[in-house]
Structures are given as C-alpha cells and as structure tokens.
Structure 1
Amino acid sequence: MSPYHHPSVHRRTFSRLGALSVAVALGAGSLGACSKDSGGNDTTSASSTTAATTTEPGKETTAPPDTLDPRLEADMRAAMARAEKVSLTKDDLATNWQSLPPAEGDEGPLEACTEVDLDTHLMGLYRSNGFSNTVDPGALQVSSSVTVMDDESAATDLMADMRTDRFVGCVNDLFNGSTDTVERKGEIKRNETAPDLGDEAVALSGEFVVSPLDGTPDHPVSMVVVAFRTGDMITTLNSTAVDRNLDEQLIRDLLDKLLQRATAN
C-alpha cells in the first residue's frame, strides 16, 4: 500500500436516513490525502518534500518516486501505522451497525479551513469507515480520523486553529448549502468547555435541518465533533443523529476507546 495515494472517503447509502447523516457529518469530508486498503479504510500522508495529491473514485495521482528519501518514507509509513491502530473499527460497535462505502469528494473541512501548512507538517492521516445504525425513529452515524503531524508543536498549532472563530465559520460555510438532492441549513459552534481528554481537546456541536428537494419532510440533524491531542497525534470522533437525539453514552464510550489507543501509540 502506497502512502501517497488520495482516494475518497468510504460511505454507504444503505438507507435514506443514513445518507442524510453522511451529508452533514464532519467526517464526510476527508482531512487529507487518502489511500484505500483491503479493509476499505482511508489513509493519507504528506511531508515537506511532497505535497498531498487528490483522487476521484477510480482515478489516482501519486507523488513522484524521487521526492522522498528512505528515512522519511519509513517515518511516514510508521505514522500511518500508528494512526490506523487508533482508529475506530466495526468491532467497536454493536453488530447491527453497518459500514459505509465510498462517496465522491476527498477534501474536507480541515483541509479547506485550516491555516496550518499540512503539506509541510502532515505525516499521516487515517480515516475509518463511516458506521451507521438505523434506529427508531431515526439514524446514528459515527466515524473517526487520526492525524499524525511531524512534531508536537505542529499538532498543537492545528488544535489551536480549530478553536478559532475563523475556522468554525469556514466549516459552517462548507456545511450550509444545497446538493442535487438536499438543502442544509444550520450552525455548528465551538463548545465553551472542552472535554478532559489527552493533552488538550476541542469540541464542536450544532443543529442542522436537511430539506430534501423532492418535497418530502425535513430532517433535523444533530452533530458533535470531538478532537483531542496526544503528543503529535490528533484523534477526531464525528457523530451525527438524524430525526433523533445523539447517543451521549455511545459517544463517551467511543472516546474512551480512542483515548486508550491514542495514549498507547
């Protein structure tokens, strides 16, 4: 598996509600360059010697083979392996949860909104599959992404950037708008109190309304995004709920699992 490929995020439109939850999840956009492994997960890496490249489904762009020295390549592969070990898997959820396969699009809020130079400082990014569960009366969706920077200072800068009003405003600009099938309106805000996770943490949450353009009823969507740093690694959990409340106990349980893995890596 090359660490320089850049495919799209995995999602499955297995139900209408599942599709709506994916439409507004922060994890619906990728946070960096990606690569699809045999398990259907997305990975990415970047360095000071090669900029991230992008791919649409079925089309790949790779970095020139002479841009990395062997030591840097080994460091990047090690970063990718660390990130993968931390990420959510289907085994973290009950058996009735489903995995979500690819959807188009590979640039997400972090790439689009951060002012931190990811081309210089990003060593690896691993995004889990999306996982979704249709439950009466709505649907839940969760996913994770794990980002490894080239040092702790760069990871600290990235966390600080995610707390800014500019970053949050940029994310809202991305989320609000229309697609071919739905219109999204709402606002995500930075929580005043950050959770006590790792070296530092930031939480964003918000409420949206997804209006299908076919005239069918609107769907209220709740979202929470929690990112925490452990050294040079940032782990993010994304959760959305469509037509129902978020499962706060599930979010706490998944954060505990992610923190345990991140601390060990």
Structure 2
Amino acid sequence: MRHNPSLKPWWAILLITLFTSSVTAHSVIVYPGWRGNNLHSTGNMTETDGLGIGRGANASELLYPAGMQWAYPCGGMPMSNNRTKWPIKGGAVSFQPGWFAGHKTAFIYINMGYGTIPPNMSHPMIAPFQIVSPTNEEYPGTFCLPQIPLPLNANLKVGDDATIQLVEIAQHGAALYNCVDITLAEPEDVPEVTKENCFNSTHLSARYLFAMDVQNAASSTVSSSQLTYALVPMLLVGFFGLLF
C-alpha cells in the first residue's frame, strides 16, 4: 500500500497529467493511504465479452476494460500487508475525487470492513454526502474529513486490523471503490494530521442528503430547482478551518 499522508497539491496535478491518457478511475485516498495504484484500465470490452472484469489471453491476467476502480470492494486491489496505523477513537480521511471527467457532483460513502481480510464492507462510518465541484472536467483538489468515527457498535480494540473503503457514486449511478488497510492504534502512535495532509480545496463544497416521500413530493408545490437548492451545504471548508 502506498502510504503518502503528505501528498502535495502540485504532486496531485502532476499525477493527473501522467495518467490522463489512460485513466478511467476517479479517486485517490490521500490520508491515511491507499492499497495501491488502480488508476488505469487494461484490455477492452470485446476481449471480456462485455464484462467489466475478465481473463486475458494469459489466463492469469485479469482485464479491467472500464477501469479498475469500478470493481467491488476495493477497485481491483488485493489486501496489503503494509498497513497504516489509524486511531482507535476515529480519525481523518482525505481524498481527491476529480481524477477524471464526469464528477461535477458525486455521492460519497465511507465504510469499514473488519479483520485482516474483511468478508464485506457493510459498516458505514458516516452518513453519505454529496460533493460539488465547479466543473465536469477532471480537476485537482482535496477533500478532508478530520474526524470520522468508527462504525456504530463496532467491537474493535487496539491492534485489530480493518479496512476503510471509500465509495464515489458517479453521476450515472455507477460506483468507484478505493481502500486503505489499517491497524487500529492509540492516537499518539498515529502519524499527525496536519494542514498539509488534511485540507479542503476552496472550489469544492459538500451537501447533506435527505429523502422525501414520493407521494408528498408529487403533491408539493416545490419545484425541482427549488428542491435542488434546498440541499443544505455542509460548509466543511470553513468549519474544518476552525479545527486547526
């Protein structure tokens, strides 16, 4: 796993430039790290008979014609033995959502799987939210949540292994997956969270999600445009700035 808690913005821009020609995946976990580079695609849909994952001419080779990050649960990346320490009381998660076009808006889920090789990633850590960027083209930018708790009723202790899963729901409804393998530790044993590895780019914002009964929505006089603007901004940039 590439543990890079201090990835600089200029580094991100350089990487975007390097991968633009072949990227079909869209997010990178900056902090606490990620399983590895899955920012590429291999093969084509003809070779896999229309499947998102298939075998190549070499039976041992897996092809990802649509891009690795579409593959559940961790974007085509196997479990890593190089784990990152993460606080037992919860901690930061920072990511870059705009590594390819088509993500002017996206829904974000952050989940956890228990154990060294989790059987699933079905334990939500926070409620899902929407991110909004100024463009539908690829863009640099980092989004950070400085304090994410463990899942509700998690029975975990210092030294336990787990995996944090970042899910980005694209505008067309498909999901992109990225993971970081962690070992829970006391806060003082975890690399410090700073303004360099946990910050929010000013051109990104976030919104809460809410639900409305279909029958009530149909009888409501609220227009679709009004409903869109009724989504409450989380104002994470200003709020998180107060935490440092």
| Length-normalised TM-score, structure 2 | 0.28
TM-score by length of 1: 0.26
Larger radius of gyration between Structure 1 and Structure 2: 2
